[in-house]
Chains A and B, each alone.
Chain A
């Protein structure tokens, strides 16, 4: 049987994007140390329901740190204290008996609060729609081994593609910038041979869509610290370079038309 913790929780409650929010204070007693953070919230919710109080709304699905649905600020840190760990994979053994834990939603103007701890991250989808893909209509592909890709290239592409789109980078950034997210997608596609034909168009479109929604990057590096997949800051530098180039390339491509 696991050890039990008694915790003091302050949980943000807000009924809708425009509603007034406030903290709910909960004495969460007998929380098993082997529970995950979300299982702790499950226990709290079941107790609220027993008292006829509506449970706290939070986003979650896979609970394996891969779908990117979960994510809350835990004592001011996106996804909490454990490095490289999404909220759902954080376990209560990382806390001590008697701890006070403040739980809040991501805070960024482009991620409006929907309810309690749940936010709307559709702006991320808009960035991908702007060009975060390789156009390869079904059925047109050549043999998969026709274009060898050096292992190092495939590996670095995969490092970037590991992003789960949770939004912790934006939530952690003092400017609510989305550079880490956008650069990870760009790096994933722009390093691959298959990604070359649309590289400059993609870069310009994604960066500019990103700027429509999010703040600008001033190199704090908080995003990387908060990232559950520890996506590298190097990708931001690559993106910046590609963006400058894309301006020139796209202009010269346009003049050839």
Chain B
């Protein structure tokens, strides 16, 4: 049985009680502990800086050249915080409630409540660090309402909220690096997690400049390595995002939870061709003012301006009058897929829907729209060569965020003692669907306000233990294994295709059968196609150049190799969960109106999978979910 270690007491008191009950490491003793943090995104940078401030010795790893480049930098829209500055009825309880409901009742209540509680501290912390959030003329903070929320609780810094929050955390980290409490290992690719007697002891990292493998040991290891969205090849994630660290942890005993949960974001620029390397997100905030529609007539050939109002199908406004264009992401995405599948798509490849600002421009003026979305409009024009002030944008859903991840208990510890997972890398607080502006919140909650407390509880009893020597056979063997694994790719001769090719092929399978809508047949097909592709990939992939130096093909081949294994688990999870919930839509399980139909009786649990070795099926473990506060209801956004 999985023990989530949820503290006793009423939900409002759980975190306070827990903080009181946890063991503490006395301030003078913190320096006796070494902690490895992998990742310098919001979760990793905030954790590393906060742990260092407390006095721990921190080693932080990133494969980027600088911590500031982490994928978090790309987040646009904003971060939620239950400040109720707008006096519009927000509260910690409401944010908690919205998150549980928005996640389609597949998250852990106690975690979500804590997230909502600390959300207010995050905003304070970021402002104190100098994050230049948008402000009103009176000098107080501005807010907006964001994807699916009926209150304005989202704080933002133009369309660059992730950038500004990450720079805040990066700068805190820079201060800690200067003070000597943090050692930074940049351009270091963590390729394995080392355990001894079942406990996390360290990592193996490849120096990406020299190709050397280095062992690093510590009292605890924290993974803040982001999500697995790039299993789809095309996604809004940065190119280097990958599942390797989490996957290697899984292979060392950490259970992987809910890998089938993926968020498909409704407002991305549709793909234009086969060469496309990634998809670009247009911030969801655009849905506040843009109206989504397609022509009613499948064969519509007139220019947009000539299509009369009554021949435009505003499908979200018609189907969901209360929420209109602001329905949650999964609902918006699926409806876009439906109309495109019906043949109503727009654009040269008929693979998008319109997001139209004409009404907003007529109402508020072009200047107002420019102020709100100027940089997004510019980005759109740069990519497509079309001017959204004069013709509607074309958008289509794309993979964006992954709710699944390493299973963690209330302390954010995985099933491997001493190994923690934060941010998008854990299965987190978003259930089967994440609300807009809540990933940044969760990453920073984990890093600034949760882990710094909970890690002490694990470390306190270890006072006096030195970190395991890297001369220990578990380290030396791991170094050898990882090195052998890297070298096999470049020594292998022949090879037919580069790594990109196989990644793209994998992406096609996963998108086709385990994307916006899934069914048994398709998933079974994927389960037979993925291992075949993996085998072909391992045999025929071509990796040129030397392993002893910078080699971007080599970096990528390891990642794709892990994606190949991960994809199979993802599909297996999707196949076993015969209900629909949030971002996981099983065609067999829908309401008459085509909405996701949950099966609470059989599936109100977290599905966490245990590795049994290569070519073995993983074992499913279940963490039952209990809903004491938010009543289970069918989500309805009508």
Contacts and interface: CB of A to CB of B under 8 A. Distances in A.
B552 A55 contact: yes
Contact of B550 (A114, A136, A148): A114
A122 B130 contact: no
B520 interface: no
Given A55-B544, A62-B238, A139 B121 contact: yes
B134 A154 contact: yes
Interface in B544-574: 544-545, 549-550, 552-553
A78 B136 CA distance: 36
B50 interface: yes
B85 interface: yes
B130 A192 contact: yes
Interface string A145-171: 101111100110110011011000000
A142 B128 contact: yes
Interface in B71-130: 71, 73-74, 83, 85, 121, 123-130
Interface in B517-555: 542, 544-545, 549-550, 552-553
Contacts of B129: 133-134, 136, 194
A124 B65 CA distance: 11
B498 A57 contact: no
B65 A120 contact: yes
A121 B382 CA distance: 27
A148 B139 contact: yes
A138 B448 contact: yes
A130 B174 CA distance: 8
A61 B127 contact: no
A97 interface: no
B127 A194 contact: yes
B275 interface: yes
Interface stretch (B194-202, B257-265, B276-284): B276-284
Contact of A64 (B46, B158, B379, B448): B379
A143 B277 CA distance: 43
B366 interface: no
Interface stretch (A41-49, A102-110, A216-224): A41-49
Given A134-B129, A136-B125, A158-B132, A65 B379 contact: yes
B66 A125 contact: yes
A189 interface: yes
Given A61-B64, A139-B121, A142-B124, A130 B130 contact: no
Interface in A162-221: 162, 164-165, 188-189, 192, 194-195
Contacts of B273: 1-2, 32, 34-35
Contacts of B125: 136, 138-139, 141
A53 interface: yes
A93 B385 contact: yes
A86 to B, nearest CB: 10
B149 interface: no
A59 interface: yes
A62 B66 contact: no
B464 interface: no
Contacts of A162: 158, 160, 163
A114 B209 contact: yes
A104 B273 CA distance: 27
Contacts of A32: 273, 275
Contacts of A46: 498, 500-501
Given A32-B273, A67-B73, A149-B135, A136 B128 contact: yes
A134 B171 contact: yes
Interface in B139-197: 139-141, 157-158, 160, 162-164, 167, 170-172, 174-175, 177-178, 184, 186
Contacts of B545: 54
Interface residues of A, number: 80
Contacts of A151: 135-137, 139
A79 interface: no
B375 to A, nearest CB: 9
Contacts of A80: none
Contacts of A50: 498
A115 interface: yes
B139 A150 contact: yes
Nearest to A63: B278
Contacts of B473: none
B621 interface: no
A154 B544 contact: no
B124 A194 contact: no
A16 B209 CA distance: 9
Given A35-B273, A142-B124, A137 B53 contact: yes
A36 B280 CA distance: 12
Contacts of A1: 273, 348
Contact of B71 (A59, A62, A133): A62
A68 B160 CA distance: 13
A132 B174 contact: yes
A28 interface: no
A69 interface: yes
A39 interface: yes
**Which among B127, B501, B544 has the highest number of chain A CB atoms within 10 Å?**
B127
B240 interface: yes
B164 A161 contact: yes
B124 A141 contact: yes
Interface in A3-46: 15-16, 32, 34-36, 38-39, 42-43, 45-46
A46 B71 CA distance: 25
A91 B385 contact: yes
Interface string B49-75: 110010000000000111111010110
Contacts of A77: none
A138 B157 contact: no
B51 to A, nearest CB: 9
B133 interface: yes
Contacts of A246: none
Given A64-B280, A89-B379, A133-B171, A141 B128 contact: yes
A249 interface: no
Contacts of B379: 64-65, 89
A114 B210 CA distance: 11
Given A67-B238, A129-B177, A192-B130, A165 B544 contact: no
A61 B71 contact: yes
B80 to A, nearest CB: 13
B500 A62 contact: no
Contacts of A141: 121, 124-125, 127-128
B614 interface: no
B613 interface: no
Contacts of B448: 138-139
A60 B184 CA distance: 21
Interface string B496-519: 001011000000000000000000
Contacts of A66: 73-74, 160, 162-163
A144 interface: yes
Nearest to A93: B385
A144 B123 contact: yes
Interface string A73-92: 00000000010010001010
Contacts of A255: none
Q: Which 3 A-B pairs have the closest CB atoms?
A: A148-B139, A133-B171, A141-B128
Given A57-B552, A161-B157, A161-B167, 13 more contacts: A1-B273, A2-B272, A62-B73, A64-B74, A68-B68, A114-B209, A124-B66, A144-B123, A144-B126, A161-B132, A162-B163, A192-B130, A194-B129
Interface of A: 1-2, 15-16, 32, 34-36, 38-39, 42-43, 45-46, 49-50, 52-55, 57, 59-69, 82, 85, 89, 91, 93, 114-115, 118, 120-122, 124-125, 128-130, 132-145, 147-151, 154-155, 157-158, 161-162, 164-165, 188-189, 192, 194-195
12 contacts: A35-B273, A42-B275, A42-B277, A54-B544, A54-B545, A125-B186, A132-B171, A139-B448, A141-B124, A158-B132, A161-B163, A188-B132
